[in-house]
A = this chain, B = another copy of it.
């Protein structure tokens, strides 16, 4: 189609395969430890982290969705489950008629404060400690490069050009 080969060459294949497998296993491991030791899921952790950093432990849902990068619907459903478990409360927003406000409960703050150091330890143990300092920096640069490209191509209307969010040659 676009003149590219059908599949990946050896170097590409090795990189992709290793990256793919590593990533799957790493998330699984981190998620399991988080759940077993803190009773929190990854999205729980993301939401609680955002709330804990906010003044008063309170945020509007759409603010949370910005920092966690969750769709509003996903976030709403997740908040509903978190309310049921007593981690947060959903209150009507005072200065906006149609708005809601999410507030951390005491249990929620306890949960995130006890989970955070464990999380740091796990990230070190399963990822960072396996790498030299040079590799850590290399991984940061790699990630930032890939991320920049993803974000650039994911926002069609931002730089002024009406670029396609799909693949460049033929979409």
Contacts and interface: CB of A to CB of B under 8 A. Distances in A.
Interface of A: 1-2, 4-8, 11-12, 14-16, 18-19, 21-27, 29, 33, 69, 116-117, 120-128, 130-131, 133, 135-151, 154, 166-168
Contact of A143 (B6, B15, B123, B149): B15
B128 A16 contact: yes
A146 to B, nearest CB: 5
Contact of A130 (B69, B117, B146): B146
A73 B117 CA distance: 33
Given A12-B136, A121-B167, A150-B25, A19 B143 contact: yes
Contacts of A141: 135
B8 A147 contact: no
A146 B127 contact: yes
A133 B120 CA distance: 31
B69 A24 contact: yes
A29 B167 CA distance: 11
Given A120-B6, A168-B125, A21 B143 contact: yes
A67 to B, nearest CB: 11
